[in-house]
Amino acid sequence: MNITKDVISDLLPLYVSDECSPDTKLLIDEYLKANPEFAQEVKNISHNPFPSAIPNKLNKGDEMYSLTRTKQLIRRRTYLMALAIFCTLTPLSFLYTGGKIYWLFTESPTSAFFYGSFGIFFWIAFFWTKRRTKEL
């Protein structure tokens, strides 16, 4: 089987961090013995490790804040969707007063407009909150 430079390059991160199996390590060592130029590149990579200043762990306070904030946004998104649906459908509803049935949109257009405006506001707030929830 012919092992190419691309295959070895794919395995290099494991080799440099010493996380590969002994068989993989042996395979890469043999390839590097056959290709001294590539071995020099690998040597340069292994002497210049990644910076250690990158934080790899959050503390408990950060995790709890993130969890609490996510729960708040999901709860707010749920309430906003319920209000948006209610205010959107209210102008299309019927009223029963004085023994007669009235359509809210035709009998009280100001109320229908009022509810419709709030519906649009709640839909905008819902989609904005939904986008914020995805960012977390």
pLDDT value for 128: 94
By C-alpha distance, which of 33, 115, 132 is closest to 75?
Answer: 132
Can you name the residues that pair with 60 across neighbouring β-strands? none
Band (9; pLDDT cuts 50, 70, 90): confident
The answer to whether 87 and 118 are in contact (CB under 8 A) is yes
State the pairing for strand pair 100-103/94-97.
antiparallel
pLDDT digits (tens, 9 = 90+) for 62-95: 888 888 999 999 999 999 999 999 999 998 888 8
Instruction: Give the separation between CA 30 and CA 16, rounded to whole angstroms.
Output: 15
